[in-house]
Amino acid sequence: MPLNAYTEAERAAIYRVIYERRDMRHFLSDAIDPELLTRLLQAAHHAPSVGFMQPWRFIRITQPELRIAIHALVEQERIATANALNEREDEFMKLKVEGILECGEVLIAALCDKREHYIFGRRTLPEMDIASLSCAIQNMWLAARAEGIGLGWVSMFEPEALKTLLNMPQDSQPLGVLCLGHVKQFYDKPMLEQQHWAERQDLSNHRI
Amino acid sequence: MPLNAYTEAERAAIYRVIYERRDMRHFLSDAIDPELLTRLLQAAHHAPSVGFMQPWRFIRITQPELRIAIHALVEQERIATANALNEREDEFMKLKVEGILECGEVLIAALCDKREHYIFGRRTLPEMDIASLSCAIQNMWLAARAEGIGLGWVSMFEPEALKTLLNMPQDSQPLGVLCLGHVKQFYDKPMLEQQHWAERQDLSNHRI
């Protein structure tokens, strides 16, 4: 047993949440307790970041008309994606994005502006800012699952259109529309696996 | 209390690991138990991925001469970064990358080849593959902390040079040299904070 290992019960809880986290698309409309939401944001804020740049920003959408406008942007991109995928369109169109209108909270996960002077760890890999934001979202996702809150990461939108809608700085970059909310139940398997969109690959096949 | 919430003890374990995870740079050289390493890879493999594409690959470096060559690539980029940062060079040069030679395991975290036909969720945001790989690394990182294993994510290298060294497909992309190993102790705070490189920002200042 390594030094500094957690107890068996703690390790079990951590593996449990890693295995039970799901990308949720179906929500109850109940509000999320503000203290719970703050705990989720704090979890995100304790992610690793390249050169400790902490590039993550979460924009809380509170105006119903803005949420409707975001939903319209996602719907537009859903149709564009379905056209691009033509042969799988029928299957694809079943994957709903209605969660944006139903869920308790919508957050926009974005990279902040003025990132170009952060060079440490990014000189040859500028995309490490995306990596840091993604780790923050994953922290939030795991914490949310443990709290019984579902999270869905929607990446079907035109980023420039979303920036314009939200009046975001030109050099910022939205990476996700995050839907958070209470759920009746979590999916047993990833929804795309349940829908036979794709299967989980074998770990042993995972070779370059 | 939301439906489906975990117990208080489980939630505490999950927040504990989120807060105690550290980007480690100092390692003991003891080997990592192979079953433990498999658990960490399985944790990574249960990350979310855009369109369930599972783009992550982890290349285990087992040849000592390859590890030395990777260290040399990182050292080269460390110097290039220090030059680019000139005014902070002295501070910066203290941040060691020797962990690559000391740690029990080195894994290269990479995006697989043949990604261009994965369109779902990526038509307007192709960088979502980087997001998925990053979530996988974050899962591994949290599981490792719970197991008492340190992980350091090194992004100081020229990706094309690393691809050539490892004979990786042209359309694959390495995103990190991951150092994993036993550690004497985990840092109390992020190393870059201890070194006064940067401070943790206030959550309330985090506004676009």
CB contact under 8 A, B148 and A182: no
Which ipTM score applies to this complex?
0.95
DSSP per residue over A89-128, as a string?
A: HHHHHTS--THHHHSSEEEEEEE-S--TT--TTTSS-TTH
Locus of tokens 């000391």: B102
Contacts of A152 (CB under 8 A, 6+ apart): A23, A24, A25, A27, A99, A103, A178, A179
- Of B10, B53, B92, B120, which to mutate for an interface test with A (greatest number of A Cβ within 10 Å)? B120
B137 touches chain A (CB under 8 A): yes
Q: Which of A172, A50, A46 is nearest to A111 (CA)?
A: A172
Please report, for the domain that includes residue B162, its CATH number. 3.40.109.10
For B117-164, what is each residue's pLDDT tens digit? 898 899 999 999 999 999 999 999 999 999 999 999 999 999 999 999
The pLDDT > 90 percentage for chain A reads 78
- The reply to whether A106 falls in a domain is yes
Judged by CB atoms closer than 8 Å, whether chains meet at A2 and B182 is answered as yes
Q: Higher confidence at residue A79 or residue B41?
A: B41
| HSE-up of residue A126 (Cα within 13 Å, Cβ side) | 5
Mutate to test the interface with B, among A36, A78, A120 (most CBs of B within 10 A): A120
Residue B208: the pLDDT is 44
Domain range enclosing B42: 22-185
Residue A191 lies in a domain: no
d(CA A197, CA A91): 8
A 93-112 residues with CB < 8 A to B:
110, 112
Task: Calculate how close chain B gets to A104, using CA atoms only, in Å.
Answer: 12
Q: Is the per-residue pLDDT at A90 higher than 90?
A: no
User: From the CB of residue B89, how many other CB atoms can be counted at a distance below 10 Å?
Assistant: 13
Q: A with B: how many residue pairs have Cβ under 8 Å apart?
A: 275
Q: Give yes or no for residue B19 having a pLDDT over 90.
A: yes
CB contact under 8 A, A10 and B16: yes
**Chain A interface mutation, best of B139, B171, B194, highest count of A Cβ atoms under 10 Å:** B139
Q: Is residue A102 part of a domain?
A: yes
Res A92: pLDDT: 58
pLDDT bucket at B94, cuts 50 / 70 / 90: low
Of B84, B147, B201, the CB nearest to A123: B84
- What are residue B180's DSSP bridge partners? B105, B151
Across the range A166-192, mean pLDDT stands at: 96
How far, in Å, CA of B146 to CA of B22, rounded? 11
Task: Give the mutation candidate from A1, A7, A11, A18 for the B interface (greatest B CB count, under 10 A).
Answer: A18
Answer yes or no: is A110 within a domain. Answer: yes
Q: Where are the alpha helices (H) located in chain B, listed in sequence order? A: 8-20, 34-45, 64-84, 89-93, 99-102, 128-147, 159-166, 191-194
Name the average pLDDT for chain A. Answer: 92
Contact A77 B124 (CB under 8 A): yes
Cross-strand bridge partners of residue B66 = none
Single pTM value for the model:
0.95
Convert the pLDDT of each residue in A49-69 to its tens digit: 999 999 999 999 999 999 999
How many angstroms separate the CA atoms of B187 and B22, rounded? 7
pLDDT confidence of residue A13: 98
- The partner residue sitting opposite B125, judged by closest CB among A56, A141, A159, is A159
Q: What's the pLDDT tens digit per position in A104-159?
A: 999 999 999 999 989 989 999 999 999 999 999 999 999 999 999 999 999 999 99
Note the pLDDT of residue A93.
59
User: Is A204 among the domain residues?
Assistant: no
pLDDT at residue number A208: 43
Nearest CA in chain A to B5: A148
A200 belongs to a structural domain:
no
pLDDT reported for residue B87: 61
How many domains are there within chain B?
1
Residue B206 has pLDDT above 80, yes or no: no
Q: Do the strands B173-182 and B105-111 form a parallel or antiparallel pair, or are they unpaired?
A: antiparallel
Backbone phi, then psi, for B85, in 5-degree steps?
Answer: -95, 10
Q: Does B82 touch chain A (CB under 8 A)?
A: no
Residue A12 resides in a domain: no
Contacts of A73 in chain B (CB under 8 A): none
List the end-to-end C-alpha distance of chain B, in Å, as a whole number: 31
φ and ψ at residue B59, rounded to 5 degrees: -100, 120
C-beta atoms surrounding A11 within 10 Å: 18
Which residues in chain A are contacts of B81 at CB distance < 8 A?
119-121, 123
Torsion of CA B67, A130, B181, B57, to 10 degrees: -60
* A202, part of any domain: no
Question: Is A120 within 8 Å of B81 when comparing Cβ atoms?
Answer: yes
Which residue of A21, A43, A159 is in closest CB contact with B15? A43
